[in-house]
Structure formats: structure tokens, C-alpha cells
Structure 1
Amino acid sequence: MPPEPSTEVELKFLLLPGEGQAVSRNPLLAGATGTALSSVYYDTPDLDLRKRGIALRVRRAHGRYVQTVKREGGTSLFDRGEWETEIGGPEPDRAALAGTPAGDIPAAREGSGLRSLFVTEVRRTSRIVREGDDLIEISLDHGEIVAGDRRASIDELELELKGGEARGLFVLARRLVGDTRLRLSFESKSERGYRLAAGEAPAAYNAADVHVTGDMTGAEAFAVVMRNCLAQICDNANLLRETRNAEALHQLRVGLRRLRAALATFEPILPGGEFPRIVAESKWMGSELDAARDLDILIADQADAERDDDGIDRGPAMLDERLRVARAASYDRALAAIDSMRFALFVLDCAEWVEIGDWRESRDEEVAALRDGRASVLAAVALDRLNRKLRKDAKHLATLDPSARHHVRIKAKKLRYAAEFFAEAFGKHGKGHRRKFTAALERLQGALGDLNDLAVSGQTLLAATGEEDAASVLHAGRKEARLLKKAVRACRDWRRAKAFWRDRHS
């Protein structure tokens, strides 16, 4: 018989050295037992499983072998589809793949279609506790991922729901706050293993595609979008802790902006007092990163400007040392914010609110109709509203001052992100119009972004060095005129683009 599907619901947190011991002394883990877990992960030569968001492993524990297939992409923040089967040995049982997502891939079903890629060796200390009516397994995992001669450490805390409701997960997480900073992570061991096996250096996490289909409810669509945004935020924050990666900082800021765009998009179904608090906390976190990003851009621009005609980059040796000192200080500030309890609780609070917040229970008829109705209906309402706001504010773009242009840019971002969130919500109808619409919006956003960078660079230079370069000011004025013409053309193209969400049959 094919394995029965189940849903794995868990919170996972990354631990720093020493935090695991502190957590292990928490009374919640009194009487915990230790288990050695050895797991081998498999895929086809072309990585067909990974491309479809599927992981296949065979785990050995207590002398037994269990084959597990996992699939990303539930309609809840922290759930994953899971198919488990006890098998007779260490190699994958292809017959047991029937009825699982892996079984739908021909190469995985073939006799020689799978190969081992990496192994995880973990010492798991765990205990099942009761929180009210909810049963939760608390697990501390310490070990490593091994791919050939490459190794990466594993230090994680997992809270997995074994029975009851998700509320208990968040209650227990808060009871562990004193022992760890609760660095929420969305990256699975399997994804880390794939990167290790490929020899990929740690890299910033760009936004993954969002898969919101029209037959989802508005609430399900919101959870899918927010999981996507929170994953981008958390995984880039975790990378930034390891290395002062400028692109990770940039993508963390992008994730925060996408999260605020999601909140603006789904605002009609989000009544209650938590909404403005989550928005305010996301803005605070963004403000802690702004100086570092502004200095990254300024230093990169100055390096470009100082290239010789022969193409040799002589910029770094000529850059003002004061800019580098200011950038180091700004990164210190960004990292302090990322490691703060305020940021940890912002992420946890946001996740809890999305998963079990009061907005899900609102009895307001208009709210409930959009929340519980088809996502495509909510999408059309949201896109119409955001589109109207941008059209109004961008009406006289050529005559707006930098501050007003910046507000237009923010509205353009929100509309673009919303269009991307709902890219699949209307099926194939209007697909060509959607591409033209989002491409025009991207050009508008890019031109306005260049104008904003230009406006901010002078302020950043003055703040960092106490000086203003006269030649740079003159150059900036000429560049502004060129960029403004580009933005006006992009705005005109966007206005002519058809609203793709109206080009559907329902």
C-alpha cells in the first residue's frame, strides 16, 4: 500500500555555539532522550526532485530504516507534506514511492534513476511535552551534513506539532526565549545539503516564486505569500550573521519591503490591532539597515566613477577611508538589530499572527467574504485599489520633488509585488498582459529607484564625511535630468499597459 500522507507542522530555530546546552537545561527538556540519526538524501542526476520542491531521504535509527518524502508548499506557514514508510534496508524502496510526489517523476521510479548526494549525522535530544491540549515534540539537533569531503555543522531547535493546534508551538517557543534568541529559519537540512554537495558558497536568498492559485481562499493566499516573505527575511538575516554580505543585507531589505507590500495588499482581510504594530516593527527593522545599504551604494558608485579609461579598477585604493569606517559602523548597527530580541520577537509575532491571528475569526461580512472566498476575487480588489493609488500619485511625475517621487516609488513597488504575488491567480487568462504590465512597472520602479539613490547619495556622503563634493553635485544634477526623462517614459508605458486582472473569464 502507498504511504499515507501527513502534514508536518514545525518551527525551526538556528542555535549559536553554547545555546544548545542552555536549552537542554530548560525544565521543558527534563527527562529528554538522545537518539543517533543517520539520513541519506537521494535525487536523480538532473535533480528532478529538488526542482519540484521534493526531498527524499532514508533514515536509520534504532536499527530501523524509514523512507521519507517531503514536499514544500503548503497553505500554512510551517506545514509540509510528508510520506513515511518503514523499509527493509538502506537503499530507497521505489515501490514505496508510489502515491507520493516523488513517484510522479519517471527518473525517480527507474532502477538506476536515484543517487545519494549527501548525509546528515545528527544526535537528537528530544522530549514530547503537553501544552494545554497540544502535544509538541521539542528536539535539539547537533551534528553535521557531509557531502564528499565537505562538511557543515547542524545546531538547531525544532518544535514539531504532534497533536492539537499550532498555538501550542508559539507558547512553547516563548518559554524558551531566555535560552536562545529564536532565530527562525525556513531553510531545510535538505536544501543546505544540496548547496553543500554542489560546492555553492553561501549566497543571498532572492525571493522565491509565489504560487497563489485562484481556487485558494484569500486566507490561504495570505499565508503562502507571508511564508515566502518571512523566509526571505529570516534566511538573509541568518546569512548576514555569518558574513557581512552586502547582497544579503539588500535582499533582507527587499524581504521587509515585500512583507509590507503583502500587508498592504491583503489589508481588506486583516482587521484588528496587530496589523499596524507589525507594519511599524517591519519599518523599524528596515530603518536599522538603511545606512548600511546607502553606504554600500555610495561606495560602489564612487568606485565605478574612479575607474580609469583603460578599464582598470583603481577605486578601492582611492576611496575615502571615512566611508569605509562609516560603513563598518552601519553594519555593526544592522547586526545588532538582527541579533536583538526585538527582531526575534517581531518575526515570531508576525508568524503567529499569520497562522492563528484574530483576523481569521472576524465576523464582519465583507471581511469574511474576501477572506474565505476565492483568492482571485481578493486579488482583483487589491490590484484595483493599489493601481488607482499609483495612478493618482504619479499623475504629474515630471514636476514632483524627490520626496514625492520617493512616495510614488513606494506605491509602484507595492503594486509590482502584488502583481507578482498573484501571478498565477488568474490562470492563463491575461498572461501576456500580466507580463507587459509587470515589466512596465519594473522599469518605472527601477528608474525611480535610481533617482532616489541619487538623492540619498549626497546626504550619505555629507553624513559620513562632513563634506559635499561640488563636482559630484554638478554631475548629479545632470544625471537627475536624464533619469527623470527615463522615469516619465516608463510611467507612460505603464499607464498604457492593460490591467491583466480584468482580462479573465469567471
Structure 2
Amino acid sequence: MIEIELKFQVPAAARDAVAKAMASGRSERTRLQAVYYDTPDRRLAAASAAVRLRLEGSRWVQTAKAGDPHGMQRHEHNAPVDGAADGPPPALDLARHQGTPVGGLIARALAGAAPAPLFRTDVHRTHREVRAGKGTLELALDIGEITGGDRRWPLHELEIELVDGDPLAVLDAASCWVARHGLWLDVRSKAERGDRVSRGVDTGEPVVASSWPANPSLRQVARLGLAHLLPNASEVASGTFTPGHLLQVNDALRRIVGTLPSFPEADPSWTPTLTGTLAATSDAATAVDALRQPAFTQVLLALQAVALVPEGQPVTISCTMDPSTFS
């Protein structure tokens, strides 16, 4: 299956309001305790893949994921596993994913090597299903931590995942939550952050731009620009980053800003918003706040929509959820 989701960090000032919003309606609360596996030389991480065993309430599930670690869509396969909720994790068995696209990707990445436990997550998840636009979504507020050795990484984030329907529904819902609570987009997965915890490092390597065609379409600008911008912007917005991350953010914004005016179908509000963000990110002292601004995040969501739909298809995103579901 293809997992389609976005993840957002919840600012400290908004945490009580977001928790209250998530606790309303038919929400459930589940404890998720996971063990993530990889080889000592990080073959799965290098292939943008992850394998975990997770106790979800009282049942064990083995999950494999692979694909673009910084995009909305990834391959995913889940397999129920027999095991006691009050006992140790069951044995990992990669054959559970045999015959699936993600199973093949995992097998090629490992090339016969055996993965071992590297880090763990312990999360209390408040979750519920909602309708937005033309889709059904799961909203999940995760509060907990990633641990590896004597290091830990606190978690406080909201995930919006498509259950069924139009993928644009994820962006519609995200637009609501960003406008209401000032959430900011973070494309770093738990697996990516856990790998850092296990290695004792705080940041990843800056992501550099791939080559652009001579005359890109608007969809290509959105896809290539976001692939360059989002992983670096996530690092800078987190407050822990290197000069290289900030340099790549500026480079990505310049490319996008320099190209958008040539497309009459591009929303005219995007360029001034991105131009203002570019000016603010020229200084490390103002960059973090600039990349957390709701107006900037809304432009990112709009560009995600452009990247998602077929070339030339008109696309708009708007908050189509009942206000009672996010306030």
C-alpha cells in the first residue's frame, strides 16, 4: 500500500489547544511502543527505508516502509504478529513482507545482512477519523520520545494520514490546522530521527538540489523545489541546524522565487510570501521563526498540491473541515 500523510510539529504555545481539539469527538488513546531495526552500517537508513515491530495497545504489528523520506507518499506494508503484550517483542521476520513492493526494496537494501534493534519509540497517541474535502483522514497527536542508548528525542507532533479518498484531503485538513494552531511542517520521520539518536548526532546532512530541466513546468518546480527545500527547512525550523542547512534553504527559495513569476497559473500570493521568507532566512537569528510562520507553511501546502496532481490540472486547497473538528 501507499501511505499518504503529512506531519507537523506543535508549537509549545498551541499544545493545550491542540490536545483539547484532538480529545473532542470520537477520539481514542493508544500507547505505541516500537523497536526499529537496521544494520550496523545503516543500510536501511541509507535506502530511506525502515522496519519496526510495534506494540499497538495489546497487539504487535511489524511494519516496513520505503520511498521518498521527505514526501507525502511512501510504500508501507503492515503484518500482524503473534506475541504477548506484556512480554518482549516477537522475533523480526522480514519474510512477512515478501511479495510486496516495500519487501523487495528492503531486501535489496539489506543485501543479505541481518538487521538488529537500534532504537525505540514510546508514544501516547490520541487519534480519530474525520472527513475533509473528498477524503477520510486519521488525525493522530503523538506525545512521547525516541530513545537509543542514553539519548532521547522528545516527540510532540500531529500526523494527518489519508484513510481513503482524494489525497488532496490531507492538504485541506492541514490548511485548517495550520491556520488555527500555527503548526509547522516537518518532513523528518521518526525513523530518521531515531537513526540520529542511535548514532549520537543531532542533525542530518544538508540536502542539495538535484538538476532542473531547462524549461521546467510548474509541477516540476514544485516537486524539485520542495525536494530541496523541505528537508533543509525542517532542520532549520527545529532550531538545531548547521550553516549548510541554512545555505540550502536560501538556495531552494531563490530557485522557486525566481521561477514562479513565469507561470500565470501560480497563485500571485506565493511569490511575496516566499520572498519575505527568503529575506528572513538570510540571518540565522530570524530564520527559525520565519520557517515556522503559518503563511509560509500554507504556501508549502499549496506547492505540495501542485506536485501531487497531474500536470496542467487546476488545483486549490482550502479548509473544508467542520470548525468543531479542530478547535
TM-score by length of 1: 0.54
Aligned residue number for residue 387 of structure 1: none
Shift of 1:143: 0.3
Q: State how far apart, in whole Å, the 1-side matches of 2:13 and 2:217 are.
A: 42
Alignment of 1:172-251 (within 5 A): 172-177=173-178, 179-202=180-203, 205-207=206-208, 224-239=223-238, 242-243=239-240, 245-251=242-248
The aligned amino acid for 1:236 is: E
The aligned amino acid for 2:265 is: G
Tell me which of the two structures has the higher relative contact order, counting C-alpha pairs closer than 8 angstroms and 6 or more residues apart: 2
Residue number among 244, 247, 250 corresponding to 1:253 in the alignment: 250
- Please tell me whether the aligned partners of residues 237 and 287 of structure 2 are also in contact (alpha carbons under 8 angstroms): no
Shift of 1:106: 7.7
Residue number among 271, 277, 280 corresponding to 1:285 in the alignment: 277
Higher strand share: 2
Distance change (3 Å), C-alpha of 1:183 and 1:357 = farther
Aligned residue number for residue 153 of structure 2: 152
Q: Secondary structure at the match of 1:104?
A: helix
Shift of 1:353: 3.5
Residue number among 70, 74, 84 corresponding to 1:80 in the alignment: 74
Indicate whether 1:345 and 2:298 are aligned.
yes
- Please tell me whether the aligned partners of residues 68 and 84 of structure 1 are also in contact (alpha carbons under 8 angstroms): yes
- Measured on the aligned residues, the alpha-carbon RMSD in Å equals 3.2
Alignment of 1:25-40 (within 5 A): 25-26=20-21, 29-40=24-35
**CA deviations over 1:194-217 (Å, ceiling 9, x no partner):** 01100113356332657x99xxx9
Indicate whether 1:272 and 2:251 are aligned.
no
The aligned amino acid for 1:33 is: E
- Please tell me whether the aligned partners of residues 132 and 173 of structure 2 are also in contact (alpha carbons under 8 angstroms): yes
- Please tell me whether the aligned partners of residues 33 and 121 of structure 2 are also in contact (alpha carbons under 8 angstroms): yes
- Please tell me whether the aligned partners of residues 44 and 50 of structure 2 are also in contact (alpha carbons under 8 angstroms): yes
Higher helix share: 1
Distance change (3 Å), C-alpha of 1:262 and 1:63 = farther
- Please tell me whether the aligned partners of residues 260 and 266 of structure 2 are also in contact (alpha carbons under 8 angstroms): no
**CA deviations over 1:39-79 (Å, ceiling 9, x no partner):** 111112322211211111111113221111111239x9411
- Please tell me whether the aligned partners of residues 230 and 347 of structure 1 are also in contact (alpha carbons under 8 angstroms): no
Q: State how far apart, in whole Å, the 2-side matches of 1:106 and 1:348 are.
A: 31
- Please tell me whether the aligned partners of residues 228 and 248 of structure 2 are also in contact (alpha carbons under 8 angstroms): no
Aligned residue number for residue 97 of structure 2: 97
**Greater displacement, 53-62 / 115-124:** 53-62
**CA deviations over 1:130-157 (Å, ceiling 9, x no partner):** 1243100011000000101111101110
- Please tell me whether the aligned partners of residues 232 and 255 of structure 1 are also in contact (alpha carbons under 8 angstroms): no
Q: State how far apart, in whole Å, the 1-side matches of 2:3 and 2:135 are.
A: 14
Aligned residue number for residue 467 of structure 1: none
Indicate whether 1:19 and 2:14 are aligned.
yes
Q: State how far apart, in whole Å, the 2-side matches of 1:337 and 1:28 are.
A: 30
Shift of 1:341: 2.8
Aligned residue number for residue 128 of structure 1: 129
- Please tell me whether the aligned partners of residues 186 and 234 of structure 1 are also in contact (alpha carbons under 8 angstroms): no
Shift of 1:246: 3.6
Q: Secondary structure at the match of 2:254?
A: helix
Aligned residue number for residue 323 of structure 2: none
Q: Secondary structure at the match of 1:161?
A: strand
Shift of 1:262: 6.6
Indicate whether 1:7 and 2:2 are aligned.
yes
- Please tell me whether the aligned partners of residues 22 and 141 of structure 2 are also in contact (alpha carbons under 8 angstroms): no
**CA deviations over 1:381-406 (Å, ceiling 9, x no partner):** xxxxxxxxxxxxxxxxxxxxxxxxxx
Aligned residue number for residue 168 of structure 1: 169
Alignment size in residue pairs = 304
Aligned residue number for residue 442 of structure 1: none
Distance change (3 Å), C-alpha of 1:15 and 1:205 = farther
The aligned amino acid for 2:73 is: D
Residue number among 36, 42, 56 corresponding to 1:41 in the alignment: 36
Shift of 1:336: 4.0
Q: State how far apart, in whole Å, the 2-side matches of 1:102 and 1:203 are.
A: 22
Q: State how far apart, in whole Å, the 2-side matches of 1:258 and 1:194 are.
A: 31
Residue number among 52, 62, 68 corresponding to 1:67 in the alignment: 62
**CA deviations over 1:416-438 (Å, ceiling 9, x no partner):** xxxxxxxxxxxxxxxxxxxxxxx
Shift of 1:29: 4.1
Aligned residue number for residue 120 of structure 2: 119
Q: State how far apart, in whole Å, the 2-side matches of 1:106 and 1:354 are.
A: 27
Shift of 1:222: 5.3
Q: Secondary structure at the match of 1:26?
A: helix
Shift of 1:30: 2.4
Distance change (3 Å), C-alpha of 1:261 and 1:189 = farther
Q: State how far apart, in whole Å, the 1-side matches of 2:32 and 2:91 are.
A: 16
Aligned residue number for residue 390 of structure 1: none
Q: State how far apart, in whole Å, the 2-side matches of 1:244 and 1:48 are.
A: 24
The aligned amino acid for 1:105 is: R
Q: Secondary structure at the match of 2:62?
A: strand
Q: State how far apart, in whole Å, the 2-side matches of 1:153 and 1:70 are.
A: 22
- Please tell me whether the aligned partners of residues 225 and 252 of structure 2 are also in contact (alpha carbons under 8 angstroms): no
